[in-house]
Amino acid sequence: MSTHPLGASVTAALERRIGELLAEMTITEKIGQMRQVDVAEAGDPRELHEAIRAGRIGSVLNAVDVASVNELQRMAVRRSRLGIPLLIGRDVIHGFRTVFPIPLGQAATWSPGLVREGAKIAAHEAASTGVNWTFAPMIDISRDPRWGRIAESFGEDPYLTGVLGTAMVKGFQGDDLAGIGSIAACAKHFAGYGASESGRDYNTTNIPENELRNVYLVPFKAAIDAGVATVMASFSELDGVPASGNRFLMTGILRDEWQFDGFVVSDWGSIEQLTVHGFAASEKEAAYEAASAGVNMEMASRAYDRYLAGLVETGRVSLQQIDSMVSDILRTKFRLGLFENPFTDPSSYAAIANGHNLQVAKQAALQSVVLLENRNNALPLARDALRSLAVIGPLADAPRDQLGTWIFDGDPAISQTPLSAIRKLVGDGVAVNYARAMENSRSRSLDGFAAAIDAAKASDAVVVFLGEESILSGEARSRAGIDLPGSQADLVRVLKATGKPLVAVILAGRPLTLGNVLDEVDALLYAWHPGTMGGPAIAELLFGIESPSGKLPVTFPRVVGQVPVYYAHKNTGKPATPETFVHIDEVHARQSSSGMTSSHLDAGFEPLYPFGFGRSYTRFSYSEIEVSAAQLGPDEPLTVRALVRNDGDVEADEIVQLYVRDLVGSVTRPVKELKRFERVRLKAGERRAVSFRLEPGDLAFHGRDMKLKTEPGDFHVWIGGSSAADLRAEFTIAEFTIVGE
């Protein structure tokens, strides 16, 4: 008998309750628990109520009116034969009414505590309307910025994604899944969705098992260990087998290897889409493949509803298999406390979008913004020296767009925009000259440029807000080119021509290629889509009330042709370095592989900005790295220590990062891997020792035999402010360590 990681023991008493309930259920009622219905597509509400009373529905999607939700629960609990409560699902991705930065922006905070608190707030706000299940966190490793759903991710790194994904799970689910304000989390999309070819949503993925286990499954295992209640299957296929019909993933890994005892839900219509993939010849066969793989619940479509009973009757799907899958769903409902408390009393919850919630959203936005450039200390702006400031651009006063993607319940009316926040912060002492310049971020019209130029000329400095509208990122919002859309680059050039100090603030759902504007601006802040309180956060950073502290959770390419580009790449047999990169300057260069290295002739081998990068209004230096032992025996931990100093005159946060390289392995290992990080705050001139503890299991990987082990050999370890850190020490591991055995 296993113990649930959150502390809710899977006791014999609970399993007995599940068994007794199953024994009373008809096959129709069992299959009903495996069906999720969207209220918007359910048609006549009376028909929905009747289906619930008949036990033919186990979950409802997108109901957020508390009175309506309570009525649906009343149908299930008091009017149905067995009184089984409903799961009420909703996409609560990065906030409910109070919207936090997009997950990629939250990842830039490198702050698990803030991520957890944001999810807790979102859970409480959603739960007050009757929602008890969210489809987050999305923990797909995302290394292609063309993919629109990179906005929903925590970026490119398995360790960072695992830490932040775990924090979000704990925020949603709380210390007690049955507690007030706790909702079930859902780790998605299982698995490999972020590797979609060419960054096109829903596209094919081909991932060797070694790469799958060492990269893409890592954060999912962390979420399972953290007690995530549910998992969602990916839309995509993996090595020719769509995830919604992939027994290797859903049963082999998730249940057999990881002992997951929650349940798996399909993505929207992904079971019937098995026929479109060409994996199933009919909807009936799709139901068979998904059930056989181990997908417990079907979202939106009706293959299970229509065909599972017949598949059981003919013996193709066993009743034992159905009982096992339904048990997982019932177990989750029991853990949520729905049998005891199915109804929602809004008076039990704090007011939505209250002062505390907004303050946490502001703090998340503050820590998410990344300072990419600051030439000649153009930032922070000095309020005392400014008489006037131009605020320009289509995203300076766009309350809806700053919220980002997947904010069904977000309220633009409570958004505080950069324009309004700047005006409030500077008061009457600084004239704010505002010009929208463009109708939206995609506009190619130059009609608004004249007003923007006039505003710039009439001002001491210019802040231009650029980027992407929210609709340009998220699901089905992939882009082949990731330059600033529309005429934004032209806008930057005409503003530069005014000769005024020019600061750019970019709001976007993905990394953008910035080469066509980078040399034109004096400073560049990357603010992602920062959520409800993005405006005050950006204003305070612009004027130096706080120093930027965000670090990139994803590598920024110079040009889109470098994609995929990520820090934890393999070395290859011909690695490029600044010393070995070959420029072809001759008209008729000799064709030879001698001296050639892995790079692009026209883009080099380095990204525009590396993973983990982010500037500050001060300077941090690193020195005196030490390891606790030069050679480690089996099961012996390692402590790595370095000194960090604030060399400037501004108190600020620094995110100290530790990276490791395993020099030789049974399979090749990345050139660097993030293993630890810590946010520290240092006063001007302060020096502090920062230490990290590594266990042998932290250095483990799946080798040729797909077993997880730490192999003996030599290692390098770095501590610094980004993945480009060069302060290095070395150590050796003497013996193999098998992990988990």
Q: Distance between CA 531 and CA 411 in Å, rounded?
A: 10
What are the CA-CA distances from residue 559 to residues 105, 486, 633, 698 (Å)? 21, 17, 45, 34
Over pLDDT 70: what percentage of the chain? 97
pLDDT confidence of residue 10: 54
Q: Name the residue with tokens 């149905």.
A: 80
User: Which architecture, in CATH terms, is 355-542?
Assistant: 3-Layer(aba) Sandwich (3.40)
CA nearest neighbour of 684 among 647, 655, 709, 737: 647
Token duo for residue 481: 């080119």
Asked if 144 and 194 touch (Cβ cutoff 8 Å), the reply is: yes
CA nearest neighbour of 570 among 214, 251, 224: 214
CB atoms closer than 10 angstroms to residue 631: 11
Backbone angles phi, psi at 506, to 5 degrees: -110, 125
Q: Distance between CA 122 and CA 120 in Å, rounded?
A: 5
pLDDT confidence of residue 629: 96
pLDDT confidence of residue 271: 98
pLDDT confidence of residue 1: 32
For residue 669, pLDDT over 80 is answered with yes
Domain spans, the chain: 89-339, 355-542, 574-603, 620-738
**Average of per-residue pLDDT values in the chain:** 95
Query: 125-138 burial, b if ≥16 CB within 10 A, otherwise e?
Result: bbbbbbbbbbbbbb
For residue 86, pLDDT over 80 is answered with yes
Backbone angles phi, psi at 620, to 5 degrees: -115, 140
For residue 8, pLDDT over 50 is answered with no
Instruction: Please tell me the total number of residues recorded for the chain in this structure.
Output: 741
464-497 residue pLDDT tens: 999 999 999 999 999 999 999 999 999 999 999 9
Q: Which of 4-13, 117-126, 355-364, 591-600 has the lowest mean pLDDT?
A: 4-13
pLDDT confidence of residue 587: 59
For residue 2, pLDDT over 50 is answered with no
Q: SS3 for 550-594, per residue? A: CCCCCCECCCHHHCCCCCCCCCCCCCCCCCCCCCCCCCCCCCCCC
Q: What is the pTM of this model?
A: 0.97
For the segment 686-690, the average pLDDT, to the nearest whole number, is 98
For residue 518, pLDDT over 80 is answered with yes
Look at the alpha carbons of 350, 354, 358, 359 in this order and tell me if their dihedral is positive or negative. negative
Query: 593-613 burial, b if ≥16 CB within 10 A, otherwise e?
Result: eeeebebeeebebbbbbbbbb
For the segment 107-126, the average pLDDT, to the nearest whole number, is 98
For the segment 193-209, the average pLDDT, to the nearest whole number, is 97
For residue 589, pLDDT over 70 is answered with no
Token duo for residue 277: 């993939």
For the segment 5-17, the average pLDDT, to the nearest whole number, is 70
pLDDT confidence of residue 711: 94
Q: Distance between CA 203 and CA 519 in Å, rounded?
A: 35
Q: Distance between CA 611 and CA 720 in Å, rounded?
A: 12
676: three-class secondary structure by DSSP = strand
CA nearest neighbour of 432 among 495, 398, 387, 466: 387
For residue 339, pLDDT over 70 is answered with yes
pLDDT confidence of residue 563: 97
Of the pLDDT bands very low, low, confident and very high (cuts 50, 70, 90), residue 634 is confident
Q: SS3 for 117-144, per residue? A: HHHHHHHHHHHCCCCCEECCCECCCCCC
Helical H segments across 86-214, by residue range? 103-107, 112-127, 158-173, 209-211
For residue 672, pLDDT over 60 is answered with yes
Q: Distance between CA 470 and CA 583 in Å, rounded?
A: 40
Asked if 269 and 237 touch (Cβ cutoff 8 Å), the reply is: no
CA nearest neighbour of 243 among 207, 284, 285, 293: 293
Asked if 305 and 269 touch (Cβ cutoff 8 Å), the reply is: no
39-72 residue pLDDT tens: 988 878 899 999 999 999 999 999 999 999 999 9
End-to-end C-alpha distance for the chain, whole angstroms? 18
Helical H segments across 477-557, by residue range? 488-496, 534-542
For residue 275, pLDDT over 70 is answered with yes
Of the pLDDT bands very low, low, confident and very high (cuts 50, 70, 90), residue 582 is low
Backbone angles phi, psi at 170, to 5 degrees: -70, -35
Q: Distance between CA 243 and CA 270 in Å, rounded?
A: 9
CA nearest neighbour of 522 among 449, 435, 464: 464
CB atoms closer than 10 angstroms to residue 729: 18
For residue 439, pLDDT over 70 is answered with yes
Q: What helix, strand, coil percent values describe the chain, rounded to 5?
A: 35, 20, 45
Token duo for residue 143: 């290394």
Residues that are catalytic? 267
For the segment 265-284, the average pLDDT, to the nearest whole number, is 98
pLDDT confidence of residue 580: 74
Q: Distance between CA 47 and CA 66 in Å, rounded?
A: 20
Q: Distance between CA 271 and CA 280 in Å, rounded?
A: 10
Q: Distance between CA 655 and CA 635 in Å, rounded?
A: 28
Asked if 729 and 625 touch (Cβ cutoff 8 Å), the reply is: yes
Yes or no: is domain 89-339 CATH 3.20.20.300?
yes
Q: Distance between CA 303 and CA 297 in Å, rounded?
A: 11
pLDDT confidence of residue 681: 98
For residue 317, pLDDT over 60 is answered with yes
pLDDT confidence of residue 11: 78
CB atoms closer than 10 angstroms to residue 279: 18
For residue 593, pLDDT over 90 is answered with no
Q: Distance between CA 512 and CA 153 in Å, rounded?
A: 16
Token duo for residue 615: 């500037």
Over pLDDT 90: what percentage of the chain? 92
For the segment 259-265, the average pLDDT, to the nearest whole number, is 98
Query: 71-83 burial, b if ≥16 CB within 10 A, otherwise e?
Result: bbbbbbbeebeee
User: Which architecture, in CATH terms, is 620-738?
Assistant: Sandwich (2.60)
pLDDT confidence of residue 627: 98
Of the pLDDT bands very low, low, confident and very high (cuts 50, 70, 90), residue 6 is very low
